[in-house]
Structure 1
């Protein structure tokens, strides 16, 4: 038998700060840039009742951990459940099983922040956020740790949502955070743009992007979802989390490809290649850059291992037992 740590969502909710998530995820992407294995998500659908099962995984050999996410959504419950198995990368033994719900916006936000740090101008101080849900909040919490923003504008179609979002962050950030009534108003003068929506159509016009802007788009991990128009993708140095994702489920890239605005060679590099120094990031102040974040096992494993180590040190969670196959299959 092997003792494995089980951590509930509440066990891990306050174990790490946004900056610590960012550091862990940056290290994970550095390893990916030097060859650590990772694959895009797999999705399985059911029509009646409507639902989806999603999985993805990564191995971070220098961290010493591997694992990923498995989550379901729908199936008549109109909800989702996140499970994160974490294994030792050397022995293969199960280290932990985490309820990954509370971790989700933090680790995804950290991936966006790593991209902003690698691709946005060093002097970026004005941020536009399109979206006001949990993922948008995670992006802002993390991104605020890598640049000194003074002005943050948030737009979402529901006035109450954007006003509540702005009020919450205006109290917690040094920056001025205010709601605006259009994506155009949000983008005016913005150095960094974050889109965190469930949109199937572009959420802003590419003509509204000013030279030198960085865009992190994290809500487009399906061929039929599209936060960015073809002009934005075509005019940008395009960096996905995983190169393979660009033509697999990166909706904005796929639809720009279908429109003839780009070809498959438009992918500049993976984020990990930029973080590891194996590919250039931004090369000029006027360059538009895009990070296409669909979610990977890289940030999941990096964040889960951080939380596992912290939980062990603080004595959180409970121990469950797993039987190795040699015992379970033979009864010995």
Structure 2
């Protein structure tokens, strides 16, 4: 059985190939039972979350990810997400690979955002604003650079010091301008794409501050109690999701406006299945504000694990 470290997993999942692998899996589909989602009490700090995410292609590959999300790890300078992915042969049950789940999760999450941006961000989108200074930030930048001509990146974080430090680091890694945000309001008004990867429970992105044609990518807020967007954005935007089942029950940016009656399930324009299958064209006009909410799907992990296994094995 292959054992893939975080470095090996990252090298086996180049973003152009990973984005295409996700698109192929959303087009063809797979069996994806409802994931197990358990709160884990951690004394003296916010609860953690344990996730079990199975999926399989009948007669092809099967896999399950075991992940924990611990918000308190930020204070320990540890990643919020820890995970492993076990890939098997779906015909024989043979265990094929143990893939580093943290790297797989970070890259497939960013790839799903970039896949959505293919359909929802303007073709000339050049300025990316990233909210959050964690592991996902550099992945979101690299993934969006694979699908749009990004020339400028702005980083916003609750800690200006962390945002400045990350911006300096990323400018060494990417051949583009990377700067910390002066203020979030100002940054929101300039960005072509806004990508948020936070654990916020209060809205950060105000719809009234966005310029026409902006695309908003909401990656964090994976629980009903969390939220990154405000009601103004929900009312203004064309709304898209990774999967309807997941976002209608888990993502606070969709669940909360549904509860208050601000939107109905019919206000969701399309999910990634419909976009990738050509059942919906995506962005309707250059002036529209588009919003994509993702909560993650086991399908994405399976597609990534298969790609990593094939790239290493061959």
User: Which structure carries more helix by proportion?
Assistant: 2
What do residues 277-322 of structure 1 show as CA deviations (whole Å, max 9, x unaligned)?
1222112111111111111112211111111112223xxxxxxxxx
Aligned-pair Cα RMSD in Å: 2.4
Mark the runs of 5 or more structure 1 residues left unpaired by the alignment: 314-332
Match of 2:177 in 1: 176
Give, in angstroms, the shift of residue 92 of structure 1.
4.2
Pick from 28, 31, 39 the counterpart of residue 37 of structure 1.
Answer: 31
Could you tell me whether the CA contact under 8 Å between 1:230 and 1:255 is conserved in 2?
no
Match of 2:62 in 1: 66
Match of 2:267 in 1: 266
Structure 1 residues 90 and 287, CA gap change in structure 2 (3 angstroms): farther
Structure 1 residues 259 and 307, CA gap change in structure 2 (3 angstroms): same
Distance in 1, Cα, partners of 2:229 & 2:150: 23
- TM-score (normalised: structure 2): 0.89
Match of 1:16 in 2: 13
Give, in angstroms, the shift of residue 200 of structure 1.
0.5
SS at match of 2:18: helix
Match of 1:126 in 2: 127
Larger Rg: 1
Structure 1 residues 163 and 258, CA gap change in structure 2 (3 angstroms): same
How many matched pairs?
Answer: 306
Mark the runs of 5 or more structure 2 residues left unpaired by the alignment: none
Distance in 2, Cα, partners of 1:61 & 1:130: 38
Higher relative contact order (CA 8 A, sep 6+): 1
What do residues 82-131 of structure 1 show as CA deviations (whole Å, max 9, x unaligned)?
12121234444432222312222112111111111121111111211111
- TM-score (normalised: structure 1): 0.84
Give, in angstroms, the shift of residue 73 of structure 1.
4.6
Match of 2:165 in 1: 164
Give, in angstroms, the shift of residue 258 of structure 1.
2.2
Distance in 2, Cα, partners of 1:234 & 1:92: 47
Give, in angstroms, the shift of residue 263 of structure 1.
1.4
SS at match of 2:102: coil
Distance in 1, Cα, partners of 2:23 & 2:237: 22
Structure 1 residues 37 and 119, CA gap change in structure 2 (3 angstroms): farther
Distance in 1, Cα, partners of 2:243 & 2:13: 25
Distance in 1, Cα, partners of 2:311 & 2:102: 17
Match of 2:202 in 1: 201
